[in-house]
Amino acid sequence: MNLKYQSILIFDFETTGLSAANDRIIEVGAVKLKKAGDRYEVVESMNELIKQPEPISAFITNLTGITNEMLKKDGIDEEIAFQMLNNLIDEDTLLVAYNLAFDIGFLLKLFQKYVEKNYAIKNDILDCMAVYKDRYPYPHKLMNAVETFGIVNENAHRASDDALATFKVLQALDQQQPNLEVYVNVLGYNPKYPKPDIYFSKKSIKRVGQGMNGQREIEKSA
């Protein structure tokens, strides 16, 4: 991947719901990549369940395979998990997720809880889903991208497995067309709905409406 960053962090959260303000993180997964010549290699990873103050729902258990017993037995304190994750982020680390607008809200909540109340994220960001959506027609979930590229992700909806699958999808997209730099600090969104919030970042984040048919709206706007 021809990117300027010395390190990339691909991260994923499993949560109790869709709202960063009201829901909780139950699992943190991350893969840290370091630049080695013209490619990136996995140098560190983490996968931690988070102890919960209240039981999670049967729906979340069915979706993720994570049970209340697992959280009670193997979960660690949220603050410890955050410090582990934060230790993987350097000043110039590119933050990557699949459907980043979702995960970045939960990441910001952690920073504001454990670092500073008004914290804003300083790192550049890249949404792998925006790249896939730019090139391929609906549907655009991670499972669809994984299937498109013939990637094996046996434990979908487990954080570290989804993070690693996102890395493999990103590699495949780069091999297909090496222009990932045009997607840095860009959020795609469905024009039928409000634009995504960009309050999370100290960077200038560009928002581009994307349709459902892989018409390369972000690429054309660069």
Query: Which of 124, 133, 137, 125 has its CA nearest to residue 188?
Result: 133
User: What global pTM score does this model have?
Assistant: 0.96
CATH superfamily of 7-221: Ribonuclease H-like superfamily/Ribonuclease H (3.30.420.10)
Q: Which tens digits make up the pLDDT trace of 64-103?
A: 999 999 999 999 999 999 999 999 999 999 999 999 999 9
Q: For residue 152, which amino acid is it?
A: V
SS (H, E, C) 167-194: HHHHHHHHHHCCCHHHHECEEEECCCCC
Domain ranges of the chain: 7-221
Q: For residue 68, which amino acid is it?
A: N
Q: How many CA atoms lie within 13 A of 99 on its CB side?
A: 16
d(CA 164, CA 153): 9
Residue 155 confidence (pLDDT): 74
